[in-house]
Chain A
Amino acid sequence: MKTLYRSILGLAVAALFTSTFTGCIEETEPTSVATEKQIAESAQASKALLMAMPAYFNSLWDEDLHYSFGYGAMIHIREIMTADYGNNMQSYNHWYRWQQGTYLGDNWIYGQFIWNYYWGFVQTANNMVGGVDPENATEEQLGYLGAGLAYRAMLYLDLARMYEFLPNKKLEPINKYGNDVSGLTVPIVKAGMHEDSARVNPRVTREVMSKFIEDDLTAAEGYIVNLEDTRGHVLPDLACVYGLKARLYMWLEDYPNAQKYARLAIDNAAVDPMTEDECLNTTTGFNVTDPWMWGAQQTTEDDVVQTGIINWTSWSSSETTFGYYGYGTGLFPIIDRHTYERISDTDFRKLEFKAPEDGAVSGKERFVNDKQRTFDDESEWYMPPYAILKFRPGSGNADDYMTGAASAYPIMRVEEMYFIEAEAAAHQNASKGLELVSNFMKTYRDPNYTTKATSTDDVVEEIVFQKRVELIGEGLNFFDIKRLNYSVTRGYTGTNHYELSRLNTEGRPAWMNFVMVQTEGNNNSAVKEWNNPDPSDLYTPWNE
């Protein structure tokens, strides 16, 4: 009996312990990320997918790579591949590989950064496009769909033009597998594509790609009218869709359409060309989206701003005491000396750069910090002549990156449309093109504008020159140089480029044909043997 009572007592005590301290496996929910289940339950989901696209402009890819700050980095890469935009030395110059045409092959992180970044961005656009069913959507959602299609078109247009292999003097289009890659762009990945299809997804030709982009833009024209708020111009509107079509048709050398859509973009744009004060203002010069059709905006809370040095302002403004370009490192972005000297002295854009001591407009530039006018190269405030002042730090604050790096950079400006219109017209009729560019220049840039160009080639060259001055630092000149087979000349007597970057090309540089990263070919068998050949190390620096 005692045994029985003791057993009951024992079991009771055991049961007591058991009921207090046991548990069954439970679902957990994350807080630092959002799962698909949480998104499906959220009313904000659609809008949040929409805003993911402008957010991706500023995504920090790898905090140990101080050049990997998002779309602004892509712009900078395209800029330093030209002659107009350069640097004064190699120290701290994290971009030197793209600038000197080296390490551009398929097995380096430099190529991987570009490829992976762009496709991550395309994915956000595809998520938006795939997230709206046009049959069952509200008007607001159709507006989002339009924005998604516009973003996707913009990205594919960039990718296609960067990776398309165009002929050049140094490299044949035959890769190491013996394949001819002429005319091939990039694979097309659409919303909802299955990962197995992505494994056998070939590079498409220029014809297929341009049709795909054109279809996206035509559809976007219909939907984007429903988008009421561009949230400070970070989302595209109808004018931007027309602008993308203008860029598309220029690429295809379809000049009548390019001219037509450029004019439509100008007429529908909510903005006018920037005034002299807007361009040169030390607080708001090229760092706010208000005067642009489409821009990328950074806020203090963005990771790229919080790092202080891995962001657009760090790598664009000459006047900052924080960041890479500017005081402290002694590394500055410079405009090519020949380009600068060709700008007319009455063109106010010449003041976007620091004039040489004996220059015609020296002393007339506006500086955030006047100490940087000095030509004493032993002074800590020294800024070399030809340094680019165009991009001012946020709110004109050159010292505190929380404010100074919270700036914006342009994606599309209405001025670009004027130049597209003029150039497209010039290809059809030189004098018409001349008339358009002269009107623009006299009205908005230089009342004393004149040019001696009369033939088609000369007029086109003059228009593109003025476009290059207008859009320097914005990542667009690359496309014109590649398209028109212009040369890059950084080595000449009196050059202001640093020694190792003084490369001269005959016609378009081989390095303007980007190479896909190896991991794409490893995991996408249709592309493995169809990569562009490696353009690294084909040019040697010019010597006097």
Chain B
Amino acid sequence: MEDGKLNPNATMGRIHTWAGKDYLIKPDDWADEVYNNSLRQEYTVTATGSSEKGTFYLSASYLDNKGITAASDYKRFTSRLKADYQVKSWLKLEGNMTYGHYDRNYLNTNSDGEGNATSTGNVFAVVNMAPIYPMYIYDANGNKIWDENSRMELYDYGDRSIIGLYRPWLNQSNPESANRLDTRNTEGHIFNGTGTAELRLPYGFKFYNINNFYLHERRYTNTTNPFFGQYKSSNGIVTKEHERYWSYNHQQRIEWAQVYGKHSIDAMVAHEYYRMYNYDLWASKQNQFSPYNKELAGAVIMGSANSSQGDYNDEKWLGRASYNFDEKYFGSVSLTREASSHFHPDNRWGTFWSIGAGWLINKEKFMSNADWIDMLKFKISYGENGNDDIGAYRYTTYYNIANSNDNVSLVPDSYGKKDISWEKNGKFNVGFDFSFWNGRLSGTFEYYSNITKDMLSWFPLAPSFGFTGYYANVGNMRNNGFEFDFHGDIIRNRDLTWSAYVNFTSNNNKITKLPDVRKTLHVDDANLDGYSSGSFFYTEGKSRYTYYTKRYAGPDPETGEATYWKNVYKKIENSDDNELDANGNPIVTGYEKTTVYSEADNYVIGDVLPDVYGGFGTSLEWKGIDFSVDFQYQFGGRVYDSTYAQLMNSTAGYGIHVDMLNAWSVDNKNSNIPRWQFNDRYMASGSDRFLVNASYLSLQNITLGYTFPRSLISNIGIEKLRLYLVADNVWVWSKRQGLDPRQSITGTASGAYYSSIRTISFGVSLTL
């Protein structure tokens, strides 16, 4: 219209003719189409029994969650049978078995298993879609078109087929259509059983033999449809995979306990052995008879097939002794020797110990008048354990067995270091447990310090060496802080109980030792030595999650181009060379701005871990009604808002965030947003501009329930009947709506991940 406004009576869209037919092109709200509400059901039955000699427990549960997008749903059956029986006065047997079966359909992910913001298969990447593209193909009247072959509406793949138009982003794909037509299904069974024998021997000895077996079998089916997309010409591809995890764990343990007057001693010696096998078998074929036949037999061209097997075992010897005097003073000490097959035989054993003490202060004579104190305990402990979770065979160089024009070839894969060994975690705790006023106020207060020694981490090499790095015991790290946890009954009387709780954890992370040979990068302005990997810089005295990137300096006031900071170095007089300090490093005298992104320097920005986090909540019980609310919170920390960064960039086909309306312009020179310019590569490049505060408040759970009074129900044989309404993952408040810092505490969040699902359930719980 003349005044520059859209005609309110006009229909959105235009008619486009291709290959003789007319189509209506109009924009769709992709995010709206992708998400839907759905039903979640869960049913559980439990039975228990006990007698003098034994107890019995049986439960079965079924869950069906339809998911908030197409093709992401989950069905699961689990059951448990647990029984123990005193066969003889000196022999007790116990069995505990669980069995579960599940069947789930899941969405396309990248090779890391996570949502990739640029992957054409990721349905959540549509958060970036510009609001001008259609998702469906509409006929001239604006109706969706039914496709006989795929048995659903026609979607626009942006690849010129059907309507002859290209979409510059997510082209030749439509993740929503693909999710509906392709299959990604896993179906599996899990069995876990433990058998325990307890023998009571004379002189206070007991012998335990605990055996656990675990078996997990699962089968994947993956099909790509023959109708649309990049693989259409293959006429359907089917991949089947079968994985089996099988492990067993045997523990033999001798315990001895004795009481001499006020002294109480117990000791334990044990041996444990764990073995895990995993098996993998897969194959794929293409050119299917029908996309509804999802087996290899339904396709005729052989693709590829493979199988492999893995093996891991772990052995432990441990001993522990504890003592208490008059149930007032407590002490214990333990020692463990552990070996893992992840390390070279020469380096596979590690030694770990622990020690602890406690003091029940309220039992002291000088506290006997303070009867408002139910319990006040002081505890202090230090314990170590080992971590070997770095993958197998890191201690030796290994090669891929690759096809080379149908010959066997060995292509280098990973660089090994023989001396790789256990990472040790030592936890030190000191604090108080308390309970006052008959349980009206209780909680714990603690200081902790966790020291990790010989951290197992990736260590980079110069790529010209061939291998780009290896795993090694790289350094030492410490996490320390305070934790407290309070529960209180604010009101407590016959009818009404109102309680609240709050917990709080502060954490400070620091790399305490980095060997000199690892200090390969010098950060000039901060005068730090360490190394960089990805977006982080590792140096002594700073957090392991210290972000290292360019610093944004705002738009140039005259041209509006994005500028970044770079170092100004002290020069030798009358020369262009840098003056060096006593250590041979250049000296930074100041900073200047540059519009050339590659000339800008990287700076140590700071720790992205949160300062403080925890939860709080309250609950109410009144005459059978129960109500509770739970929150979780985090203060501090930083997160890289990658989705916002993408929407503040100029990429063909992407949406643009409304903040861009406030970008620098000749009339708006005070903005912090650079001027919008097509093809400007560095308008929204990686820098601290998008590293935002990660504080959040999350409303996790609201529960409302009603328990029928016993008098009403006991005559129909029901012991307890409760109705309830529960809301989970209700809302999260963060720096920007859409940013969910809970996805990662180490620095990146993205709209391209499957977000937390808000669930509102109604349920009934019945006890007979």
Q: A14-56, CB under 8 A of B: which get 1 and which 0?
A: 1001100111111111111111110100001101111111111
CB pair B532–A522 under 8 Å, yes or no, is: yes
CA–CA, A399 and B465, complex, Å: 41
Roughly how many angstroms separate A26 CA and B341 CA in the complex, as a whole number?
7
Q: Tell me the residues in window 659-716 of chain B with beta carbons closer than 8 Å to chain A beta carbons.
A: 679, 681
With both beta carbons as reference points, the residue of chain B lying nearest to A63 in the complex is identified as B111
Beta-carbon contact of A115 and B341 below 8 Å? no
Any B CB within 8 A of the CB of A494: no
Summarize A's interface: helix, strand, loop or mixed.
Answer: loop
Say whether B598 contacts A329, CB under 8 Å: no
Q: Does A167 contact B (CB under 8 A)?
A: no
Q: Could you say which residues of chain B place their CB within 8 Å of the CB of A50? A: 409
Q: Is B275 an interface residue (CB 8 A)?
A: yes
Which residues of the partner chain A approach B400 to less than 8 Å between Cβ atoms?
A: 33-34
Known contacts being A124-B412, A308-B231, is A17 close to B252, with CB within 8 Å?
A: yes
Q: Is the beta-carbon distance between B463 and A54 smaller than 8 angstroms?
A: no
A263 to B310, CA, bound (A): 54
Question: Which listed segment binds B: A5-13, A79-87, A269-277?
Answer: A5-13
Known: A24-B315, A328-B232. A299 touches B406 (CB 8 A): yes
> Taking the complex as formed, is B201 at the interface, i.e. its CB lies under 8 A from any CB of chain A?
yes
Asked if B493 lies at the interface with its beta carbon under 8 angstroms from chain A, I say no
Instruction: Provide the bound-state CA to CA distance between A536 and B597, in Å.
Output: 10
Which chain A residues border B79 with CB–CB below 8 Å?
none
Is A29 a contact partner of B311 (Cβ separation < 8 A)?
yes
CB contacts between A and B, total, < 8 Å? 284
A25, B341: Cβ atoms closer than 8 Å: yes
In the bound complex, what is the Cα–Cα distance between A328 and B228 (angstroms)?
A: 10
Q: Which B residues lie within 8 Å of A231 (CB)?
A: 405, 407
Closest A residue to B397 by beta carbon equals A36
Contacting pair A380 B161 (CB below 8 A): yes
Q: Are A23 and B461 in touch, CB under 8 angstroms? A: no
Cβ-defined contact, A31 with B531, below 8 A: no
Interface residues in B221-271 by Cβ distance below 8 A to A read 230-234, 250, 252, 254, 271
Contact between B111 and A186, CB atoms less than 8 A apart: no
Contact at B464–A187, with CB atoms within 8 Å? yes
- Cβ contact within 8 Å between A519 and B463: yes
Pick the residue among A64, A124, A400 that contacts B234 (CB under 8 A).
A400
Kindly list chain B residues whose C-beta atoms are within 8 Å of the C-beta of A476.
none
B-chain residues with CB within 8 Å of residue A260 when the two chains form the complex: none
Q: When A34-B399, A45-B410 are in contact, do A534 and B405 touch as well, CB less than 8 Å?
A: no
In the complex, whether A360 has a CB less than 8 A from a CB of chain B is no
A25 B348 Cβ-Cβ under 8 A: yes
Determine if B393 is an interface residue (Cβ-Cβ < 8 Å).
yes
- Identify which of B6-14, B163-171, B320-328 touches chain A: B163-171
* CB <8 Å contact, B168 and A91: yes
B685 vs chain A, min Cβ distance (A): 9
Chain B residue at minimum C-beta to C-beta distance from A112:
B463
Determine whether A543 belongs to the interface, using a CB cutoff of 8 Å to chain B.
no
- With A3-B202, A51-B407, A321-B233 given, is the CB distance from A25 to B313 under 8 Å? yes
Interface residue stretch chosen among A101-109, A141-149, A248-256, A343-351: A101-109
From residue A202, how far is it (CB to closest CB) to chain B in Å?
Answer: 11
Closest residue of chain B to A122, judged by CB? B466
User: B393: which A residues are within 8 A, CB to CB?
Assistant: 30, 33, 35
Chain A, range 169-224, C-beta contacts under 8 Å to B: 176-178, 186-187, 189, 193, 195, 198-199, 201
B341: nearest chain-A partner, CB-CB = A28
Q: Are A92 and B403 in contact (CB under 8 A)?
A: no
CB of A495 within 8 A of chain B?
Answer: no
Task: Report the nearest B residue to A234, measured CB to CB.
Answer: B405
Q: Which residues of B contact A429 (CB under 8 A)?
A: none
Residues in B450-472 with C-beta less than 8 Å from chain A? 460-468
**Would you give the shortest CB distance from B108 to chain A, in whole angstroms?**
12
Q: Which of B37-45, B59-67, B300-308, B354-362 sits within the interface?
A: B300-308
Q: What A residues does B731 contact at CB under 8 A?
A: none
Option from B111, B302, B404, B596 in Cβ contact (under 8 Å) with A64: B111
Assembled-state Cα–Cα distance A399/B116 (Å): 29
The 0/1 profile, CB within 8 Å of A marked 1, for residues 424-465 of chain B is 000000000000000000000000000000000000111111
A51: contacting residue among B339, B404, B467, CB under 8 A: B404
**Closest residue of chain A to B396, judged by CB?**
A35
Is the beta-carbon distance between B409 and A123 smaller than 8 angstroms?
no
Q: 0/1 per residue, B66-81, Cβ < 8 Å to A? A: 0000000000000000
Does residue B401 face the partner (Cβ distance < 8 Å to A)? yes
Judged by a CB distance under 8 angstroms, whether B392 is at the interface is yes
Q: Can you name the residue of chain A whose Cβ is closest to the Cβ of B110? A: A64
Task: Decide if B463 touches A55 in the complex (CB within 8 Å).
Answer: no
Nearest Cβ distance between residue A47 and chain B, in whole angstroms? Answer: 7
Instruction: Give the residues in chain B near A306, CB-CB below 8 Å.
Output: 284, 303-304
Given contacts A52-B409, A178-B576, contact A402 B286 (CB under 8 A): yes
Assess the A116–B231 pair: CB atoms within 8 A. no
Q: How far is the CA of A525 from the CA of B729 in the complex (A)?
A: 50
> Given A14-B199, A103-B681, A187-B464 in contact, is the A330-B160 Cβ separation under 8 Å?
yes
Per the 8 Å Cβ criterion, residues 275-309 of A in contact with B are 297, 299-302, 306, 308-309
A522–B171 alpha-carbon span in the complex (Å): 37
Bound complex: CA A186 to CA B467 (Å): 17
In the bound complex, CA of A251 to CA of B301 (Å): 47
Residues on the B chain within 8 Å of A123, using CB: 412, 465-467
User: In the bound complex, what is the Cα–Cα distance between A111 and B48 (angstroms)?
Assistant: 65
Task: For the complex, give the distance between the alpha carbons of A500 and B652 in Å.
Answer: 13
A49 to B401, CA, bound (A): 10
Is A322's CB within 8 Å of the partner chain B?
Answer: yes
Chain A CB count within 10 A is highest, among B273, B401, B403, for B403
Chain A residues with CB below 8 A from B164, complex form: 378
CA distance A39 to B599 in the complex (A): 46
Give min CB distance, B244 to chain A, whole Å. 14
- A92: shortest Cβ distance to chain B, in Å? 6
Cβ of A127 under 8 Å from chain B: yes
CA distance A189 to B463 in the complex (A): 11
Q: Is A126 an interface residue (CB 8 A)?
A: yes
In addition to A21-B211, A52-B411, A199-B462, 20 A-B residue pairs with Cβ atoms within 8 Å of each other are: A17-B252, A18-B209, A22-B250, A25-B315, A28-B313, A28-B341, A30-B393, A33-B401, A35-B393, A44-B408, A49-B409, A54-B404, A54-B405, A64-B116, A301-B304, A306-B284, A308-B231, A329-B171, A330-B166, A378-B18
Interface of B toward A, CB cutoff 8 Å: 18-19, 90-91, 110-111, 116, 119, 159-161, 164, 166, 168, 171-172, 197, 199-203, 207, 209, 211, 230-234, 250, 252, 254, 271, 273, 275, 284, 286-287, 301-304, 308-315, 339-341, 345, 348, 392-393, 396-414, 416, 460-468, 520-521, 531-532, 576-578, 596-599, 652, 679, 681
* 6 interchain pairs, CB-CB under 8 A: A7-B202, A34-B399, A52-B410, A299-B403, A299-B406, A523-B520
Q: Residues on A close to B: CB < 8 A?
A: 3, 6-7, 10-11, 13-14, 17-18, 21-37, 39, 44-45, 47-56, 59, 63-64, 89-92, 102-103, 105-107, 112, 115-116, 119-120, 122-124, 126-127, 176-178, 186-187, 189, 193, 195, 198-199, 201, 231-232, 234, 297, 299-302, 306, 308-309, 321-322, 328-330, 378-380, 399-402, 500, 517, 519-520, 522-525, 527, 534, 536-537
